[in-house]
Structure 1
């Protein structure tokens, strides 16, 4: 039954080509080509028109002030135009490689050897976040939208802006970087604006950095001395630096310290002080 169906299909195909004026069949090995007079018929190619390669056109997260790129890959473009449109105000930013906005931070990049049309955004700000559409000038136009997020990483130093530790103890400074689209490639520390040398003759100085969605860097200084007092700064390569001031105290005489308008009491002085208040208030 299947064999008869194949014969029927073959007869229909042959009849179709015959009605189109192809009268002869040439055989080349195991394949057949249909020809009109001496010219072979070109293979039938269906033009589906332009379409987007969505695997290469994705949402983007950018850092404030750092140039970013929105990529759009258009297959089978032909002679159509490619435009970038900002949805917030429906403003046409670029058409092909021409910029159509007075904001010169936006520009279009295209290499004729590729199918990529890129919107470059220099010095992005938070207000630039939103939907951007890559549009092809077909009839009607077709478009592919992407979302641009603009984030500003936050650097935090725990225990700041001032930290008090006892002489001879281990100083542990913890620097946290949040809201970064990728972990900072590097983090370095400075003491009084001089980069810390972990191989110095002093010894006992080390850094441990754990990278991830939230990156944490630990600066460890063993057997702290008064010389270790000063301003320490954490410098992430893709975020703002953050500083705190360390005071190394003689642990023999802990005392009350005025800090930020509040009385800060250190143990055991605080315990003794509170005990005296309780005793004085007892009849």
Structure 2
């Protein structure tokens, strides 16, 4: 009975310190590989670890490439079958920094967290509020001897909204304001797209003739204000849930075009006048030649 108790205590002790052994072993390997003229000490596995039925392996059904937007939590899913008493670690490839071992975080950056449910084969690395600098390769590593690992690629992009057309819009009173917003570089459709005039969400009940049509799959939203009045002038903003907003300045004018447009028209008129003068001069010269 005493022999069995000692054996069970030893087994529990090994299970408790195994994650720490995995961390120290990884660091030793990195130091040995980084040195010049150094050698790596080989640790021969015991007969138990060599048995084929006890060897862990990766389930490759999980996605290996993930794209997310800045600020939106990212999840990397690693599924390991037949793990046994081994530990699963997440390593950042660019600097070989150990992020997590088991469910423990081994970095001061608390945005990184390991998620695992008892009895599950899945070990998930969660990155809260990711930034563009977090893009790169991450390794899911299992503390077998030799170690096995699988790489996962994370891309963190900046999602932006774009309103089709110029940044400033001039329309006549009585015409329609028709604005189309497109959300660019977003892996998932935004959960909502709000339209603002100034600092306030456009109030559909304030006046009739306002409609918004949003198509999540195409990541577009269209704002239509029929029979616009000068009071409808202002800065209109398209604000998706997971992207930077975009704005356009709308001028609703009574009658005449603005001075900028008049200047453009006068420039065109002046060019036409100069062309006509050159043509008359050419014809006049031709009459003298005869």
What does residue range 1-283 of structure 1 map to in structure 2 within 5 Å? 47=53, 49-198=55-204, 200=205, 202-212=207-217, 215-250=219-254, 252-257=255-260, 265=264, 271-279=268-276, 283=281
The separation in 2 between residues aligned to 1:103 and 1:220, in whole angstroms, is: 46
Higher helix share: 2
User: Against the structure 1 CA distance between its residues 209 and 50, is the aligned structure 2 distance closer, same or farther, given a 3 Å change threshold?
Assistant: same
Comparing 98-107 with 120-129, greater Cα deviation is found at: 98-107
Comparing 70-79 with 59-68, greater Cα deviation is found at: 59-68
Unaligned runs of 5+ in 1: 1-44
| 1:271 CA drift (Å) | 4.5
Secondary structure of the 1:60 match is strand
**Aligned partners of 1:255 and 1:265 also within 8 Å:** no
The separation in 1 between residues aligned to 2:197 and 2:90, in whole angstroms, is: 47
**Aligned partners of 1:156 and 1:176 also within 8 Å:** yes
| 1:192 CA drift (Å) | 2.0
User: Against the structure 1 CA distance between its residues 149 and 264, is the aligned structure 2 distance closer, same or farther, given a 3 Å change threshold?
Assistant: farther
Query: Structure 2 length as normaliser, TM-score?
Result: 0.72
Instruction: Note the alpha carbon deviations across 1:233-272, whole angstroms, 9 max, x for none.
Output: 111111111112100112x3224318xxxx9625xx5654
| 1:128 CA drift (Å) | 1.0
| 1:46 CA drift (Å) | 6.6
The separation in 2 between residues aligned to 1:277 and 1:249, in whole angstroms, is: 31
Comparing 86-95 with 142-151, greater Cα deviation is found at: 86-95
User: Which of these two proteins has the greater Rg computed from alpha carbons?
Assistant: 1
**Aligned partners of 1:170 and 1:223 also within 8 Å:** yes
**Aligned partners of 2:160 and 2:245 also within 8 Å:** no
Instruction: State the number of aligned residues.
Output: 230
User: Against the structure 1 CA distance between its residues 248 and 277, is the aligned structure 2 distance closer, same or farther, given a 3 Å change threshold?
Assistant: farther
Instruction: Note the alpha carbon deviations across 1:18-68, whole angstroms, 9 max, x for none.
Output: xxxxxxxxxxxxxxxxxxxxxxxxxxx971521112213532112112222
**Aligned partners of 2:71 and 2:130 also within 8 Å:** yes
Instruction: Note the alpha carbon deviations across 1:147-167, whole angstroms, 9 max, x for none.
Output: 111111121122343211111
| 1:230 CA drift (Å) | 0.6
Kindly report the root-mean-square deviation, in angstroms, between the aligned alpha carbons of the 2 structures.
2.4
**Aligned partners of 1:186 and 1:237 also within 8 Å:** yes
The separation in 2 between residues aligned to 1:225 and 1:91, in whole angstroms, is: 60
**Aligned partners of 1:51 and 1:74 also within 8 Å:** yes
**Aligned partners of 2:91 and 2:138 also within 8 Å:** yes
Secondary structure of the 2:53 match is coil
Comparing 150-159 with 269-278, greater Cα deviation is found at: 269-278
User: Against the structure 1 CA distance between its residues 153 and 204, is the aligned structure 2 distance closer, same or farther, given a 3 Å change threshold?
Assistant: same
User: Against the structure 1 CA distance between its residues 211 and 203, is the aligned structure 2 distance closer, same or farther, given a 3 Å change threshold?
Assistant: same
Query: Structure 1 length as normaliser, TM-score?
Result: 0.73
Secondary structure of the 1:111 match is coil
Secondary structure of the 1:227 match is helix
